[in-house]
Structure 1
Amino acid sequence: MLKSVEDPQIAGDDTAPARRPGGGVATALRATVQAALMVAVLVGSYLAMERLIAAAPERTARPQPDVSVPVEAVVVAAGDERPNVSLYGEVAAARAVDIRPPVSGEVIAIHPDLSAGRRIEAGATLFEIDPFDLEVALAEARANLAQTEATIAENEARLVSERAQLEGARDQLDLARSDLARAEQLRGNGTLTAKQVEDRELIVSQREQAVSQRVNNIAIEEARLDQQRAIRTRLELGVRRAERNLGDTAVRAPFSGVVRSSTVETGRIVAANDVAVAMYDDSALDVRFTLTDAQYGRIATDADPLIGRDVTLVWTVGNLDYTYTATVNGIGADIASARGGVDVFARIDVTDAPVQLRPGAFVAVTVPDRLYEDAVRLPETALYDAGTMYVIADGRLEHRTVEVAAFDGADVIVTGGLTAGEQVMTTRLSNVEDGLKVSVPSAETPAIDDGSTPVAGARPSEEMITAAKRLSGLTDAQWDALSGDERRAYFRQLRDRPDTAGDG
Structure 2
Amino acid sequence: MRFLRRSLVGIFLLSVTLALFALAGRTVFDAVETRMNAEPRAFPQRERVIAVNVVDFTPESIIPELDVFGELRSQRTLDLRASVGGTVVSVADNFVEGGTVAADEVLLRVDPTDAQSALARAQADLQDGLAEVRDAERALNLAEDELAAAEDQVTLRTQALERQRDLAGRGVVTAAALEDAELAASAARAAVLSRRQSVAQAEARIDSAQTELSRIRIDLDEAERTLGDTEIRAAFAGTLSGVSVIEGGRITSNELLAQLIDPSRLEVAFRVSTSQYARLLDAEGALRQSPVTVTLDVSGVDLTARGVLSRESAGVAEGQTGRLLFARLDAAPAFRPGDFVTVTIAEPALERVARLPATAVAADGTVLVVGEGERLELAQVELLRRQGDDVIVRGTDLGGSMVVAERSPLLGAGIKVRPILPGGASALPEGPQTLRLEPDRRARLKAFVEGSRMPDEAKSRILAQLEEEEVSAEVVARLESRMGS
Instruction: Return the TM-score normalized by structure 2.
Output: 0.79
Q: Measured at CA, do residues 319 and 489 of structure 1 come closer, stay the same or move farther in structure 2, by a change above 3 Å?
A: closer
CA distance in 1, matches of 2:209, 2:243: 46
Name whichever of 136-145 and 295-304 sits farther off: 295-304
Aligned to 1:434: 413
Q: 1:185 aligns with which of 144, 150, 166?
A: 166
CA distance in 1, matches of 2:27, 2:52: 52
How many residue pairs get matched?
Answer: 423
Paired letter, 1:400: A
Displacement of 1:448:
4.7
Q: Measured at CA, do residues 234 and 440 of structure 1 come closer, stay the same or move farther in structure 2, by a change above 3 Å?
A: same
Q: Measured at CA, do residues 324 and 304 of structure 1 come closer, stay the same or move farther in structure 2, by a change above 3 Å?
A: farther
Describe how 1:209-248 pairs up with structure 2 within 5 A. 209-248=190-229
Instruction: State whether structure 2 residue 96 is matched by structure 1 residue 115.
Output: yes
CA distance in 1, matches of 2:475, 2:282: 60
Q: Measured at CA, do residues 378 and 336 of structure 1 come closer, stay the same or move farther in structure 2, by a change above 3 Å?
A: farther
Instruction: State whether structure 2 residue 251 is matched by structure 1 residue 270.
Output: yes
Tell me if structure 2 keeps the 8 A contact 1:387–1:403: yes
Describe how 1:246-265 pairs up with structure 2 within 5 A. 246-265=227-246
Tell me if structure 1 keeps the 8 A contact 2:367–2:404: yes
Instruction: State whether structure 2 residue 407 is matched by structure 1 residue 445.
Output: no
Instruction: State whether structure 2 residue 52 is matched by structure 1 residue 91.
Output: no
Tell me if structure 2 keeps the 8 A contact 1:452–1:488: no
Describe how 1:471-490 pairs up with structure 2 within 5 A. none
Q: 1:65 aligns with which of 42, 46, 51?
A: 46
Displacement of 1:315:
1.0
CA distance in 1, matches of 2:56, 2:317: 42
Q: Measured at CA, do residues 393 and 176 of structure 1 come closer, stay the same or move farther in structure 2, by a change above 3 Å?
A: same
Measured against aligned partners, the alpha-carbon deviations of 1:40-92 in whole angstroms (never above 9, x if no partner) come to: xxxx9999976553333655242222222222223332222111011111112
Structure 1, unmatched stretches of 5+, are: 1-43, 454-463, 472-486, 499-504
Tell me if structure 1 keeps the 8 A contact 2:266–2:332: no
CA distance in 2, matches of 1:50, 1:436: 46
Instruction: State whether structure 2 residue 285 is matched by structure 1 residue 301.
Output: no
CA distance in 1, matches of 2:271, 2:142: 79
Describe how 1:366-445 pairs up with structure 2 within 5 A. 366-394=344-372, 395-441=374-420, 442-445=426-429
Describe how 1:311-350 pairs up with structure 2 within 5 A. 311-336=292-317, 338-350=319-331
Paired letter, 2:476: F
Instruction: State whether structure 2 residue 34 is matched by structure 1 residue 55.
Output: yes
- Partner of 1:98: helix, strand, or coil? strand
Instruction: State whether structure 2 residue 476 is matched by structure 1 residue 491.
Output: yes
Q: Measured at CA, do residues 300 and 51 of structure 1 come closer, stay the same or move farther in structure 2, by a change above 3 Å?
A: farther
Displacement of 1:495:
8.3
Tell me if structure 1 keeps the 8 A contact 2:370–2:401: yes
CA distance in 2, matches of 1:46, 1:83: 82
Aligned to 1:128: 109
Q: Measured at CA, do residues 228 and 307 of structure 1 come closer, stay the same or move farther in structure 2, by a change above 3 Å?
A: farther
Measured against aligned partners, the alpha-carbon deviations of 1:177-233 in whole angstroms (never above 9, x if no partner) come to: 222223223222222333222222211211111111111111111111111111111
Q: Measured at CA, do residues 153 and 390 of structure 1 come closer, stay the same or move farther in structure 2, by a change above 3 Å?
A: same
Q: Measured at CA, do residues 166 and 46 of structure 1 come closer, stay the same or move farther in structure 2, by a change above 3 Å?
A: farther
- Partner of 1:334: helix, strand, or coil? coil
Displacement of 1:416:
3.9
Instruction: State whether structure 2 residue 57 is matched by structure 1 residue 80.
Output: no
Instruction: State whether structure 2 residue 179 is matched by structure 1 residue 194.
Output: no
Q: Measured at CA, do residues 446 and 422 of structure 1 come closer, stay the same or move farther in structure 2, by a change above 3 Å?
A: closer
CA distance in 1, matches of 2:49, 2:285: 47
Measured against aligned partners, the alpha-carbon deviations of 1:429-476 in whole angstroms (never above 9, x if no partner) come to: 2144322222213212336533569xxxxxxxxxx9xx8xx99xxxxx
- Partner of 2:307: helix, strand, or coil? strand
Q: Measured at CA, do residues 304 and 194 of structure 1 come closer, stay the same or move farther in structure 2, by a change above 3 Å?
A: closer
Q: Measured at CA, do residues 213 and 174 of structure 1 come closer, stay the same or move farther in structure 2, by a change above 3 Å?
A: same
Q: Measured at CA, do residues 430 and 336 of structure 1 come closer, stay the same or move farther in structure 2, by a change above 3 Å?
A: farther
Measured against aligned partners, the alpha-carbon deviations of 1:385-422 in whole angstroms (never above 9, x if no partner) come to: 24212222202222222222212222222234343222
Instruction: State whether structure 2 residue 335 is matched by structure 1 residue 357.
Output: yes
Displacement of 1:328:
1.7
Q: 1:283 aligns with which of 258, 264, 267?
A: 264
Q: Measured at CA, do residues 494 and 432 of structure 1 come closer, stay the same or move farther in structure 2, by a change above 3 Å?
A: closer
Displacement of 1:367:
0.8
Q: Percent identity?
A: 30
CA distance in 1, matches of 2:218, 2:326: 44
Tell me if structure 2 keeps the 8 A contact 1:451–1:489: no
Aligned to 1:501: none
Q: Measured at CA, do residues 271 and 497 of structure 1 come closer, stay the same or move farther in structure 2, by a change above 3 Å?
A: closer
- Partner of 2:245: helix, strand, or coil? coil
Instruction: Return the TM-score normalized by structure 1.
Output: 0.77
Tell me if structure 2 keeps the 8 A contact 1:403–1:417: no
Tell me if structure 1 keeps the 8 A contact 2:290–2:347: no
- Partner of 1:435: helix, strand, or coil? coil
CA distance in 2, matches of 1:347, 1:261: 25
Displacement of 1:292:
0.7
